[in-house]
Structure 1
């Protein structure tokens, strides 16, 4: 059964119930109003603090966009890109694409213009839907990517190089296009990247999406009465696949713009949220605000909040111990996954296993997991090897990259590149990563991209970017920079130079030192991590 059938079911059973709520707490108090969407043509979003749509409206908007795509010649198997911040339009657009039999291709909102262009071309996107935050970046590449492609703008003040999404969908039929879609049909392309530079395109079919919904509901026991608070970006498999559990049961979800502790507690309180997925930094910030008496949980209605779960990075056991001091009744879970395994859930801790915090858990619902050596043989319990997973959510392939596909897919098993070990109770613990990807606050940072950028600085002879442990973010990026002989350059000079990078890619720590390379010319990053990791940890502890 394709995931679009679940939306149709919810429309039939719960049509007048609220499906999605969007909250923008950054709206100035003096300009805040609320809006309940009944009109088919959406008014300006600028003045609205809170918006909501029912399952009926959700489905109607998905149908209208699907019919617009069909009118514009989109056929089964073609691709439509989504470049939007979290908003009430995001999921209806996603489902509208799926209803045509086309593939939805979400794009990271942090991508530069060059990265957007690369992904559009790699995934062979036929139509790109984008929002107001991306006008400048899309305009930079519009002449190049609009050749043979359509650009649709979602919002007010449509730029001249794009077409108006609202105006065009308003005149389309709200009835389902009735395109035959099967589990084996291709459904979506998500982007991920290793240490080799630009992202890989990860192809999933409809079975993958449906299994993600089943696994999430099985793991966290969502019912129609649960309210899911969604904070992370919807372009990422994590946020969307967790929401799929709510979709499966017809439950309500809240899309929250903003991650401050006060914002999160207000949303949980005002919208009566029962399930919240957090990243480690957000949980730490919330605890710090409570410790410092900046917030008082007595000021909020939180009794209905039953589950807090975390994913995207290792979770310090001390964090959960601290969390339980404030929220002793909360269930807790952690989820492990990759975009190649349709996001979180191929391994998960389980709400009954809080005594095993620190582990990522066991194979999730419908999944298998094993730890293997270099020959692909299962290692003995307690030994370290590479984690491999198998299940209905494994990707079909890396799109247009058979070589990379062959490196990670073996007889249905996905080799994750993560090193792990299994304890005597069968719980899996991550040990290290084969790849050099840095995970900072739940976001992947790819060292090669930063290294290539820094090498354009005429003062730099060589550079290596590594991850260093950080209490709040999990890891931070550090640049070890070897200057050209006789050249003077300061940390401030490097930081100024790096302002050309997106903020999340800028190195948090600059170290001027030699960059060691082995006889084959490869940077010896394990030596660098060993040398600077301990120094950084001691310095951080002294500061604490």
Structure 2
């Protein structure tokens, strides 16, 4: 069953129910009015604080875009790229592409003009839809992407650049009925790009079976029903947000797209929209807890009793963070999800809401997934042995290939298994603990150091908000562990404070260098370690004290 069938079913059975709500708190604050007053003072739909569509409207918008593409000769074998901030139109356009049999290509909204051009060329994109935030970047390359035959602008008609067509003005002329293009499970469906923390991203091709696998995995793990409301904050171009939303698609439940990550915006949206399931990245959860600690957020002013599940993915989760979270939200179910774009995002390994006593682990194989940790001899490590190996996964959600890169595909897909490049170990109960990326392992004086283990330890310090550990060159040891530490607001710590705290680590694991700076993360929450290695590759003086 292609993923589009779920949308068609929802529109048929529950067409009048709200499918998606978009919340833009910045607009609300810009106008200085309450939600109830907002529609009276801001008639422009594109700039309203709150917008929503029903399942019927969602499906009809997808159908109109599908007919527009088909009418211009786009269908099976073609690629359609989306370069948009999260918005109400994002998912209908995504499904419109799928309904033609073409491949949808979501693009990272942080890409530079050169990166956009690179990804359009790598994916063989024929059509591009972009929003007003990207007009200047597209103007730089508009004449340098000859394969892209049509560029559509999603925004105000008067802002449409000369090199593009206004999408809204075209869509209204096309039929709202389904185009009825027959799709198969093994048909190509989507190209996602790797997160780009290792240079230019790879193009990851998935078929319709992969997308359905992700939907079924998510809905099975978190038990969404029609009564749930999912708060979606991460970017929809990434598999993480999209595949978690697929649980709402299967359960025909409403999702809220929040445009912003401020703690007060998140809490207010949960309260006002009645959100029951919220997926956070570690920095956002940390920011919420810090705001609660400071008294910036008063939980008594919010309606939170309906919030049943908080889950986190995209990176290792410090146990200390979840301990703090449960102190404020003792009734929350908690889950963590591990995944890669190559495995249709999160869920191939997950902790499970029933296993919170194993917090710190990424978990066990997900629903209908297999996972093993294999040593250098390609044999599964013995649970409880403490042996570190590479995590490999197998399931229906694996990518078809790296598009146009058979060598890279062959390097990671072997006998139906995906070799993730993540180093892990398995405890005696079968729970998998992520140790680090294979390429991030630090070899210092012949010892293998796994930065994630050191980072988890340092995050337990009261003054530490975030931390990244990297290896820097050293003449004697080869590499030394270096900790880049971001302090909590209004907290002070010195290098001596951190070194004293690290006495709790084995001597060989203690960082040899401390740097007090902000920790850069990409939009999916992953630490940008290549950027840090480049930034701090040369020796620099480190201040003895910092308060941020």
Is TM-score (shorter-chain normalized) higher than 0.5?
Answer: yes
Question: How far, CA to CA, are the matches of 1:466 and 1:341 in structure 2?
Answer: 31
Structure 1 residues 213 and 471, CA gap change in structure 2 (3 angstroms): farther
Is 1:427 aligned to 2:465, yes or no?
no
Question: How far, CA to CA, are the matches of 1:467 and 1:99 in structure 2?
Answer: 50
Q: Deviations along 1:199-243, whole A, 9 cap, x unmatched?
A: 100000000000100000000010000000000000000000000
Contact 1:35 1:51 (8 Å CA) reproduced: no
Match of 2:185 in 1: 183
Match of 1:301 in 2: 303
Match of 2:238 in 1: 236
> How far apart are 1:47 and its partner, in Å?
3.1
Match of 1:83 in 2: 83
> How far apart are 1:29 and its partner, in Å?
3.4
Contact 1:108 1:236 (8 Å CA) reproduced: yes
> How far apart are 1:30 and its partner, in Å?
3.6
State the 4+ residue runs in structure 1 displaced beyond 6 angstroms. 31-37, 437-440, 464-467, 503-506
Is 1:212 aligned to 2:214, yes or no?
yes
> How far apart are 1:299 and its partner, in Å?
0.5
Question: How far, CA to CA, are the matches of 2:184 and 2:196 in structure 1?
Answer: 31
Question: How far, CA to CA, are the matches of 2:270 and 2:348 in structure 1?
Answer: 27
Q: Deviations along 1:353-404, whole A, 9 cap, x unmatched?
A: 1111100000000100001122322122231100000000110000000000
Match of 2:493 in 1: none
Is 1:418 aligned to 2:422, yes or no?
yes
Q: What secondary structure, in the 3-state scheme, does the structure 2 residue paired with 1:359 have?
A: coil
Structure 1: stretches of 5+ with no match in the other structure: 38-42, 448-463, 474-490, 492-502, 515-531
Structure 1 residues 249 and 408, CA gap change in structure 2 (3 angstroms): same
Structure 1 residues 216 and 143, CA gap change in structure 2 (3 angstroms): same
Q: What secondary structure, in the 3-state scheme, does the structure 2 residue paired with 1:198 have?
A: coil
Is 1:67 aligned to 2:71, yes or no?
no
Contact 2:38 2:49 (8 Å CA) reproduced: no
Match of 1:374 in 2: 376
Q: Deviations along 1:31-78, whole A, 9 cap, x unmatched?
A: 7778999xxxxx844430000000000000000000000001002121
Is 1:403 aligned to 2:407, yes or no?
yes
Q: What secondary structure, in the 3-state scheme, does the structure 1 residue paired with 2:104 have?
A: strand
Match of 2:320 in 1: 318
Q: After alignment, is 145-154 or 172-181 more displaced?
A: 145-154
Q: What secondary structure, in the 3-state scheme, does the structure 2 residue paired with 1:387 have?
A: strand
Structure 1 residues 508 and 258, CA gap change in structure 2 (3 angstroms): farther
Question: How far, CA to CA, are the matches of 2:91 and 2:309 in structure 1?
Answer: 23
Structure 1 residues 392 and 512, CA gap change in structure 2 (3 angstroms): closer
Is 1:151 aligned to 2:155, yes or no?
no
Match of 2:97 in 1: 97
Question: How far, CA to CA, are the matches of 1:36 and 1:412 in structure 2?
Answer: 53
Q: What secondary structure, in the 3-state scheme, does the structure 1 residue paired with 2:339 have?
A: strand
Q: What secondary structure, in the 3-state scheme, does the structure 2 residue paired with 1:52 have?
A: strand
> How far apart are 1:470 and its partner, in Å?
4.6
Q: What secondary structure, in the 3-state scheme, does the structure 2 residue paired with 1:345 have?
A: strand
Match of 1:140 in 2: 140
Q: After alignment, is 142-151 or 118-127 more displaced?
A: 142-151
Question: How far, CA to CA, are the matches of 2:7 and 2:537 in structure 1?
Answer: 55
Q: Deviations along 1:103-148, whole A, 9 cap, x unmatched?
A: 0100000100000000000000000110000001111000011455
Aligned residues: 471
Question: How far, CA to CA, are the matches of 1:403 and 1:508 in structure 2?
Answer: 27
Q: Superposed, which structure 2 residues align to 1:259-298 within 5 Å?
A: 259-298=261-300
Match of 2:333 in 1: 331
Match of 1:47 in 2: 47
Contact 2:125 2:148 (8 Å CA) reproduced: no
Q: Deviations along 1:280-309, whole A, 9 cap, x unmatched?
A: 111111111111111110000000000000
Q: After alignment, is 281-290 or 371-380 more displaced?
A: 371-380
Match of 2:397 in 1: 393
Question: How far, CA to CA, are the matches of 1:312 and 1:426 in structure 2?
Answer: 21
Q: What secondary structure, in the 3-state scheme, does the structure 2 residue paired with 1:352 have?
A: helix
Q: What secondary structure, in the 3-state scheme, does the structure 1 residue paired with 2:292 have?
A: helix
Q: After alignment, is 24-33 or 158-167 more displaced?
A: 24-33
Q: What secondary structure, in the 3-state scheme, does the structure 1 residue paired with 2:429 have?
A: coil
Question: How far, CA to CA, are the matches of 2:87 and 2:481 in structure 1?
Answer: 34
> How far apart are 1:510 and its partner, in Å?
5.1
Q: What secondary structure, in the 3-state scheme, does the structure 1 residue paired with 2:325 have?
A: helix
Q: TM-score, normalised by structure 2?
A: 0.80
Question: How far, CA to CA, are the matches of 1:468 and 1:363 in structure 2?
Answer: 32
Structure 1 residues 24 and 467, CA gap change in structure 2 (3 angstroms): farther
Q: What secondary structure, in the 3-state scheme, does the structure 1 residue paired with 2:227 have?
A: coil
Question: How far, CA to CA, are the matches of 1:183 and 1:113 in structure 2?
Answer: 34
Contact 1:32 1:48 (8 Å CA) reproduced: no
Question: How far, CA to CA, are the matches of 1:513 and 1:196 in structure 2?
Answer: 19
Q: What secondary structure, in the 3-state scheme, does the structure 1 residue paired with 2:354 have?
A: coil
Question: How far, CA to CA, are the matches of 2:179 and 2:485 in structure 1?
Answer: 50
Tell me the C-alpha RMSD between the 2 structures.
3.1
Structure 1 residues 94 and 511, CA gap change in structure 2 (3 angstroms): closer
Question: How far, CA to CA, are the matches of 1:472 and 1:54 in structure 2?
Answer: 44
> How far apart are 1:435 and its partner, in Å?
2.6
Match of 1:17 in 2: 17
Contact 1:34 1:50 (8 Å CA) reproduced: no
Q: After alignment, is 338-347 or 378-387 more displaced?
A: 378-387
Contact 2:38 2:48 (8 Å CA) reproduced: no
Structure 1 residues 272 and 168, CA gap change in structure 2 (3 angstroms): same
Q: What secondary structure, in the 3-state scheme, does the structure 1 residue paired with 2:25 have?
A: coil
Question: How far, CA to CA, are the matches of 1:227 and 1:313 in structure 2?
Answer: 24
> How far apart are 1:197 and its partner, in Å?
2.4
Q: TM-score, normalised by structure 1?
A: 0.81
Match of 1:26 in 2: 26
